[in-house]
Amino acid sequence: MPDKKPKSAFLVPFFGELPPYFRFWAKSCEPNHDHFHWFVYSDHVTRRYDLNRAVTMIPYQFDEMISDFRKLLGIKIPGHYLRNVCDYRIMFYFLRRGREPLDEYDFIGYTDIDLIYGKLIEHLPSDMGRYALVSGDDGKPCGPLTLMARSRMDRLPDSDEITAILEDPRHRTFNESPDLTNIVAGGKAVFCRTDPVQPARTAGFDYRRSFAVWNDGAVTVWDIRGNRKEGGFYHFSRYKRRRRFRVGEHSEENGQWGIYKYGIIDIRSKTTFHRLKLASLL
């Protein structure tokens, strides 16, 4: 019997040098290729290519994006404000639908690259097709992972509120605003929940003292309180800029790694796993 589950595309603009952990992010995308595809728009690639079965790399300059916003949407992006890209990506569907086969997907989404995915389809609602918006946060869109039903996307260009935010040089994080939910959903059902999508943020978890293990496509999160939960992704954003944060030289092709406040490490030995657990929970 053919798979009837919706197909989703994530549109991921990233301007600047791709970080060392990017290869682990991309590897965690690959096991999800049956239901999800990631299009990464980067000013640090020179040709379009498939990094793996789930990730397509596309050359794209910031100035090109500004021009596309003006020509295709009549929106005037006010300069090179890189922090505002998290909001610009809400509208990338309209910039790229003529160049990527985005109308073949049921959902269009945005996501971060400072995270590791688990088996996404297992941790999103089984009746996903009934929702206008799906996210990994409680009651609102989620910067690390939000999906919008493509059938609802045409509501976005008609929003004066979105246009005003994108033309404002201030950093607004509208991609995480309940107002965006209202624009997209218009009263239709939404699924905005940390549980089971983002375990580290679920009730009872101490996300500040947590760590995760990626094991052949699955992500399991632990915390100091003894909680353990498999989920859709683990977001390590708050650790990535620390000087002690390191990405091991080991290959991302290894079947198991740990993600914690000091980096990403190979944990195929029990000794290394225990060291990871102790360091994360201090």
Residue 90's pLDDT is 98
Mean pLDDT for the stretch of residues 206-226: 93
Identify the CA nearest to 260 among candidates 221, 203, 215. Answer: 221
DSSP one-letter code for 144 = T
Considering the chain, what is the average pLDDT of its residues?
Answer: 93
Residue 3's pLDDT is 54
Residue 250 has pLDDT above 80, yes or no: no
Reading the block at residue 143, the tokens are 């910067």
**Which residue would you say has higher pLDDT here, 241 or 105?**
105
How far apart CA 148 and CA 235 sit, in angstroms, is 20
DSSP one-letter code for 192 = E
Mean pLDDT for the stretch of residues 74-82: 96
Residue 5: band (very low, low, confident or very high) from pLDDT cuts 50, 70, 90: confident
Spacing of C-alpha 142 from chain mean position = 9
How far apart CA 28 and CA 118 sit, in angstroms, is 7
Per the listing, tokens 């500004």 go with: 66
Go through the chain and tell me how many residues it has.
282
Mean pLDDT for the stretch of residues 258-279: 80
Amino acid identity, position 172 = R
Query: Cα separations (Å) of 36 from 110, 130, 244, 270?
Result: 12, 18, 33, 33
Residue 276's pLDDT is 74
Residue 34's pLDDT is 97
Residue 282's pLDDT is 64
Mean pLDDT for the stretch of residues 79-85: 95
Identify the CA nearest to 265 among candidates 247, 253, 282. Answer: 247
How far apart CA 220 and CA 202 sit, in angstroms, is 13
Q: Give me the phi and psi of 276, to 5 degrees please.
A: -60, -45
Residue 2 has pLDDT above 50, yes or no: no
Q: Give residue-wise pLDDT tens across range 14-71.
A: 999 999 999 999 999 999 999 999 999 999 999 999 999 999 999 999 999 999 999 9
Q: Give residue-wise pLDDT tens across range 136-170.
A: 999 999 999 999 999 999 999 999 999 999 999 99
Contact status, residue 104 vs residue 6, Cβ threshold 8 Å: no
Residue 281 has pLDDT above 70, yes or no: no
Mean pLDDT for the stretch of residues 206-233: 94
How far apart CA 108 and CA 205 sit, in angstroms, is 29
The DSSP bridge partners found for residue 234 are 116
